[in-house]
Amino acid sequence: MLGDKKVVFSGVQPSGNLTIGNYLGAIKNFSAFSDEYRCFYCVVDLHAITVRQVPAELRRRTYETLALYMACGLDPEKNTLFVQSHVPAHAELSWLLNCYTMFGELSRMTQFKDKSAKHADNINAGLFTYPVLMAADILLYQTDLVPVGVDQKQHLELARDIAGRFNQAYSPTFVVPEPYIPQSGMKIMSLADPLSKMSKSDPNPNAVVYILDDKDTVLRKFRRAVTDSGAEVRPGEGKEGISNLISIYRCFTGKTEEEVIKEFEGKGYGDFKTACGEACADALSPVREEFARLMADKAYLEAVMKKGAEEASYAAARTMAKVKKKIGFIG
């Protein structure tokens, strides 16, 4: 809680072009909280450097991620939109929490295992302690609710454990956060390999639909999506490709599974793939337009970042003071 409102916090890394996985699993759901909650949405650039980034690209993507937050409906007057490295308390609390996190806990994180397999030449300590920084992000604002895709559930469990451990060792200090995982769009899968997550760092551009892809590209990618050799549009065993397309189509149209099955009864996969592409491109077109408008106004984006950093720093300072006192630091 902050004041009389419950707190929502979430973050997206500026580590690549955002995908419809990021959109459906996370960002699209953020604006629903703006009225009832005190909301903090962060561009987590400190997290992004756990994997090598080209400096100019990191800078551009940081602006882009902020612009996309707004293009997806987040009003900077109603939400605190900010960049993680602008609020030093994130790194500071992260160090403190490192000392309340066990090596064994971090070793069990599946994202660490996946990413160290992918980046075998750069298994740095930051990649390992990544979840502690994430816990710091969340706990710093006394967060009640964290909207994320299901892939982040394990990290959230860890954040809860760290908060509980600290509270236990001293006295109640942190709110223990709850995850908020949307039912549909929980995990959007790759169009090229429906058994793996659609990810913005996937090197195969056909596997991924980017929020900013134009309509022709979206249609082409859906037409090429890997499916099984069947013809019936319904989810099932061995039909992961079609199941994934059905979830995507449902997210963009709001239709139920039964409605989708009925709509495409007697029609083939081709028709269904075209309909998916159309629904996706139509939903994304206003986002693309607004994004282009915002990216043309860097001064405005910088003003939003600055205001966000001030608001976030103010809220963070309260928690930091409390934490340091409990630990026994001289204030």
Place of tokens 């030093």: 88
Answer for which of 86, 119, 165, 187 binds ligand ATP (CB under 6 A) is 187
Q: Which does 250 bind (CB under 5 to 8 A by kind): ligand ATP, ligand LTN, none?
A: none
What letter does residue 124 receive in the DSSP assignment?
Answer: -
Those residues with Cβ within 8 angstroms of residue 291's Cβ, 6 or more apart along the chain or in another chain: 64, 67, 68, 71, 211, 212
Cα-to-chain-centroid distance, residue 152: 8
Which residues 84-103 are close enough to bind ligand LTN by CB under 6 A?
Answer: none
Q: How far apart are CA 233 and CA 264, in angstroms?
A: 6
The angle subtended at Cα 147 by Cα 63 and Cα 48, nearest 5°, is 40
Q: Kindly report the backbone phi and psi dihedral angles of residue 12, in degrees, each rounded to the nearest multiple of 5, phi listed first.
A: -130, 140
Nearer to ligand ATP by Cβ, of 8 and 323: the residue is 8
Size of the site for ligand LTN (CB under 6 A): 13
User: Can 200 be counted among the known catalytic residues?
Assistant: yes
Which one among 29, 50, 80, 199 touches ligand ATP, defined by CB under 6 A? 199
Q: Which does 16 bind (CB under 5 to 8 A by kind): ligand LTN, ligand ATP, none?
A: ligand ATP
Choice from 92, 105, 151, 257 touching ligand ATP (CB under 6 A) = 151
Q: Which residue is nearest to ligand ATP (CB)?
A: 25
Instruction: Choose between 41 and 166: whose C-beta lies nearer to ligand ATP.
Output: 41
CB of 197 to ligand ATP, least distance (A): 5
CA 107, distance to chain mean position in Å, is: 22
What does the alpha-carbon distance between residue 329 and residue 316 come to, in Å, rounded to a whole number?
A: 17
Q: What is the rounded CA–CA span in Å between residue 222 and residue 202?
A: 16
Instruction: Characterize the bridge pairing of strands 79-83 and 38-43.
Output: parallel
Taking the C-alpha atoms of residue 331 and residue 328, their distance in angstroms, rounded to an integer, is 9
Q: Among residues 200, 221, 239, 273, which one is catalytic?
A: 200
Site residues (CB under 6 A) for ligand LTN, limited to 31-70:
44, 47
Nearer of residues 133 and 219 to ligand LTN, judged by Cβ: 133
Q: Which residues bind ligand LTN (CB under 6 A)?
A: 9-11, 13, 44, 47, 134, 137-138, 146, 148, 152, 155
Q: Which residues bind ligand ATP (CB under 6 A)?
A: 12-13, 15-16, 19, 21-22, 25-26, 148-149, 151-152, 185, 187-188, 197-201
